[in-house]
Amino acid sequence: MQRQVSVSLGREAFSTAVAIGPHALAADEPAELGGGDTGPTPVELLLASLASCKAITVKMYADRKQWPLERVEVVARAASMHGAVIASIETQVRASGDLSEDQRARLLEIAEKCPVQKAITSGVRIEPHGAAL
């Protein structure tokens, strides 16, 4: 079950309160764009979603296979932007543990199948819901 995400933005520049079930986060823009830099930007949150999804997907797979994975590290960055729109994302996945080369290669393949990557690359539709502004 996916929890609903809600955000609220008041009068203070772009500082945004994010609520996801019992979790509270912040999003903002850097000072050079008029924000207060009180949290990651929305693009950085998207990159964090992708990176954490890849790491969790790899860990779940390795656990299921009972492979000796000790640690997964994923780095994600917007490789190119067209204005404020991400044109491409680069990711790097590192797996630590007593893994064979075949196991490492398989984990890299599995990382590419995470649900967030599938959503980003499939062109998921965003549909308006509820009352309009």
The answer to whether residues 35 and 78 belong to one domain is no
Question: What average pLDDT score do residues 8-32 get?
Answer: 94
The stretch 9-18 carries a mean pLDDT of 91
SS3 123: coil
Is the domain of 69 the same as that of 14? no
> Does residue 130 lie within any of the structural domains?
no
Structure tokens at 102: 């075949």
Rounded to 5 degrees, what are φ and ψ at 52? -70, -35
What is the structure's pLDDT at 132? 61
> Is residue 85 domain-shared with residue 117, that is, in the same domain?
yes
Does residue 18 contact residue 32 with C-beta atoms inside 8 Å?
Answer: no
Residue 34 and residue 60 in one domain: no
Sequence-distant (≥ 6) Cβ neighbours of residue 66 within 8 angstroms:
none
pLDDT for 42 beyond 70: yes
Q: Is the pLDDT of residue 94 over 80?
A: yes
Q: Which two tokens stand for residue 9?
A: 């933005």
Q: State phi, psi for 89 to the nearest 5 degrees.
A: -125, 135
* Rounded distance between C-alpha atoms, residue 17 and residue 39, angstroms: 9
Same domain? For 113 and 48 the reply is yes
Q: Which residues contact 128 (CB under 8 A, 6 or more apart)?
A: none
Same domain, 65 and 6: no
Domain extent, residue 87, equals 42-122
* Residue 127 resides in a domain: no
Select the more confidently predicted residue: 54 or 127: 54
Say whether both 64 and 32 belong to one domain: no
Q: Quote the radius of gyration of the chain (alpha carbons, Å).
A: 18
14/71 same-domain check: no
Confidence at residue 131, expressed as pLDDT on a 0 to 100 scale = 63
CA distance 112 to 3: 24
Number of folded domains that form the chain: 2
DSSP one-letter code for 35: S
Same domain for 58 and 109, yes or no, is yes
- The CATH number linked to 104 is 3.30.300.20
